[in-house]
Structure 1
């Protein structure tokens, strides 16, 4: 009867793509299920990364084989330590946890290359669990890891637009010249992203030509000073023919396959590069072409084009411009008075609209740059708890009593916080109006006049105030008289 029922190994994924990179921590566990007590010599787990290349060539009757290998790292952890005598593991289920820290590269060119499998070479990362017993074959478990390198050039250099051009003179079978200008939106992409290409063609020749676009993968294997070159076409697009003596702009967009191998630039025996080639296919002439390098990054490192952020036409908080307030944006209106060129109107839900001129204070500069909060001006004839039920709007016709000069106005106290978006109370409570007679005619007082504290309309026995009470003469005039 066998003593081992099952022997399994699992590891914890760090992301949806189940990839690892430099500096990551690999954690997992080995599960051993035994039918009975079992003697074990040792149990250990290894994490390693290896690269190898190999190809053969034939020269006459002789075959030449070229091969090379690299060990990137190897880590080993004992779960059951080897000792002078065997360790007895009791019957049942046993879990053994393990963890490894993947080495961190010192620079982008010295890091670990990404996983790759090609026709003549591969780069593989894997986990291995080995159970050793006396007089038994070792039982080995292997789990391959997908490794995505973080070792790439600085990010800011990968987001710039690529521009190239070529100007070709035609050969014997055609006259004139051709100019090709090509733009690629950036240099780095992630699998699944789209490459956008714009080609401007100036065909000042007597020949027709066909624009063509290719996205290719180039793999170079190196061993003992020899190289093996391999090219794979991933995408190829043809456009309509460009007639002689014409100009044309051609746009092409293609998507990088979702599981495309990443660019490899930091391995001395194997490299993987990508290129975008734009060329004009011309019969009986050399083909003008423009070639751009493209880098394929892991999704978490790819920096797609940032969305254009429209600049605000006005500074934040300026009248008429965007602001962070919860209230409606203040409108801007023209005032009929030359002393007040603009007036700001704040609109609050459920409230009436009031328009008041915005005073200026030479001796009191504003404390903040935001729009002033304009409150309804209190009518001049208000006294005590009396409130005017209908606000008086500014008249476009000036009069001596319609609008005071700004030099006589008292600066309002700046509010400490914005009021909630509720309508201001403009009607008094019934109790405050119990002693008030019907509304009196409006009297517009000059700022120098003192405010009356007596409601003379409710005193039927007293005459109305005289002009001297409303407009007392100054002490200087009294002394002069």
Structure 2
């Protein structure tokens, strides 16, 4: 009969879109409500909420100790990131609470910590999950449970000097087929920065110098590397999330990519702060050589959550520096400089006359030394309104005759 009285037991997290999993960041407040619909009066011992966040890994490996002995080794580990319990409905003295028939709503809220949280992730051998669990305890009845997951995104700002720094590299190899040398192949690649966000385009600058006797093909790919760690052992899983193929480079020719675009698909951000799970990315630029192994060059990538600011952040390329400086100058400097104002419009004749009278120097050396003890700024102010000298083509200080003879002898 107790089960018949409980018509509905549900929980909802506040979200703009109820059909999707709510997304939060570090320091955000998680809120929601628990709904009970009863067909009659019911006794409740407690209604408790438990919010948790864990990173867990698990995988198995087969081992062979000899020709006839084999066993399976299990690897597992976990890290707790959040654990909070809230009593939504419970009396302090331990008595039961009687709820009448009808609909009852119990709101709740809690705040996520400002740090020590990592981004939610689902991998082959592990995951990082956050959820809210509500338990309903009643006398002489089974415990009813509800569980709802939510997503946490750790902010990764790519507007930092480390993630804005350009990445470049060079590699070369001697292509060989059996005992025949085909020649050298060299590869140089560069990208403007290390940090990107999903949906952005990576301009790739590359150059392939094909000195071998076969046509080679340059390609590029974004590779995701998942690393699971447990008991000092690591398990790797690599997957290609985006690819790009260029045109073939003929023998004894050189091919170039001048900002060839490669778009980043909607992938999970980099996970770098977890002890048991790491998610890393790299850009692999490689050259396929028929009949032999490829020439590969790997550049590190960090997939962040905060995109590049259009203004106020440093660009990694010299060209962007130059264009940014030019635009700034265009915004601050007028097209044609204004002519200076006329002197008569600034200084009147009376001010100029008073300034000339005030510029008479004392005859005694003591008075001159006393003047020089004043601050230097005072002398600058005295010459502020002095009229300009009168223009004349006659030199007021002609050279002396003895100086002319000295110059002629030299």
What's the TM-score, normalizing by structure 1?
0.62
Q: Which of the pair has more CA radius of gyration? A: 1
Q: Aligned-pair distance for 1:175?
A: 5.0
SS at match of 2:283: strand
Gaps of 5+ in 1: 106-110, 322-343, 345-357, 367-406, 408-481
- Give, in whole Å, the separation in 1 of the partners of 2:335 and 2:215: 59
Check the 8 A contact 1:37/1:90 in 2, yes or no: yes
SS at 1:174's partner residue? strand
Do 1:179 and 1:203's aligned partners in 2 also have CA atoms closer than 8 Å?
yes
C-alpha deviation, 1:131, in angstroms: 0.9
Kept in 1: contact 2:158–2:164 (CA 8 A): no
Distance 1:24 1:67 in 2: 30
Mapped pair 1:63 → 2:63: no
8 Å CA contact 2:130–2:151 kept in 1: the answer is: yes
Quote the residue 2:275 is aligned against. Answer: 268
Q: Which has the higher strand share?
A: 2
Alpha-carbon distance in structure 1 between the residues aligned to 2:98 and 2:33: 20
Query: Which of 30, 33, 39 is 1:35 aligned to?
Result: 39
Partner of 1:278: 285
Matched with 1:255 is: 263
> What displacement does 1:359 show?
8.6
Give the structure 1 partner of residue 9 of structure 2: 7
Cα gap change, 1:320/1:69 in structure 2, threshold over 3 Å: closer, same or farther? same
Which has a greater percent of helix?
2
Contact 1:210 1:282 in 2 (8 A): yes
Residue matched to 2:127: 122
The residue aligned with 2:160 is 155
**Partner residue in 2 for 1:204:** 211
User: For residues 225-236 of structure 1, what are the structure 2 equivalents within 5 Å?
Assistant: 225-236=232-243
How far apart, CA to CA, are the structure 2 residues paired with 1:44 and 1:129? Answer: 6
Structure 2 SS opposite 1:311? helix
Change over 3 Å in CA distance of 1:359–1:74 after alignment to 2 = closer
Find the aligned partners of 1:317 and 1:283 in 2 and give their Cα distance. Answer: 57
Q: How far has the Cα of 1:114 moved from its partner?
A: 1.0
Give the corresponding residue for 1:74: 83
Q: Structure 2: give runs of 5+ residues left out of the alignment.
A: 65-69, 312-319, 348-387, 389-410
Shift of 1:153: 7.8
Contact 2:272/2:279 (<8 A) preserved: yes
**Contact 1:174 1:207 (C-alpha < 8 Å) held by counterparts:** no
Is the CA contact (8 Å cut-off) linking 2:21 and 2:150 kept in structure 1?
no
RMSD: 2.8
Number of the residue aligned with 1:54:
58
Residue among 106, 109, 134 paired with 1:99? 109
In the alignment, is the contact (CA less than 8 A) between 1:209 and 1:283 conserved in 2?
A: yes
Higher relative contact order (CA 8 A, sep 6+): 2
Q: Report if aligned partners of 1:14, 1:20 keep a CA contact under 8 Å in 2.
A: no
Summarize the Cα distance change of 1:163–1:317 in structure 2 as closer, same or farther, 3 Å threshold.
closer
2:169 aligned with 1:164, yes or no?
Answer: yes
Provide the secondary structure at the position in 2 that maps to 1:59.
Answer: strand
Q: Higher mean Cα deviation, 278-287 or 30-39? A: 278-287
Q: Matched residue pairs, number? A: 324
Q: Is the 8 A contact 1:112 1:151 kept in 2?
A: no
